[in-house]
Amino acid sequence: MTSAGGKILVTGGAGYIGSHTSIALLAAGYEVVIADNFSNSERWIPERIRTLAGRDLRCVELDLRDREATVLAVREIRPAGVIHFGALKSVGESIAEPLLYYSNNVIGTLNLLEAMRA
């Protein structure tokens, strides 16, 4: 535990909002673990966060639609808190690909909540 309150899991942490949130959490003294599937972000982002924050963070490649992997990751990370940004967000794409958005945003969130409860 850090003096700020512990380890925070940020899903979608390599995305725009998730990366900025991670920087703020690191600046506040939290230990940050990013979980991202990199479907809508770049793999160099965690390194950029480290550079900007001047602190290290852990990055786990994780697709929240994989229930077993999500449960195992949360069990291993043991976060004090979770901030969930791991979702798709394009209106046009959501209309063209509604099942992809349902799977990613709804099933992924349910898997994360189950993992947190477990």
**pLDDT tens per residue, range 18-58:** 999 999 999 999 999 999 999 999 999 999 999 999 999 99
Query: Could you tell me the pTM of the whole model?
Result: 0.92
Q: What is the pLDDT of residue 2?
A: 47
Q: Return the half-sphere exposure (C-beta side, CA atoms, 13 A cut-off) of residue 7.
A: 15
**86: Cβ–Cβ under 8 A, 6 or more apart, which residues?**
11, 12, 18, 35, 36, 37, 64, 108, 112
Decide: 6 and 33 in contact? Cβ < 8 Å: no
User: From CA 71, how far away is CA 59, in angstroms rounded?
Assistant: 16
pLDDT of residue 1: 42
Q: What is the DSSP letter of 63?
A: -
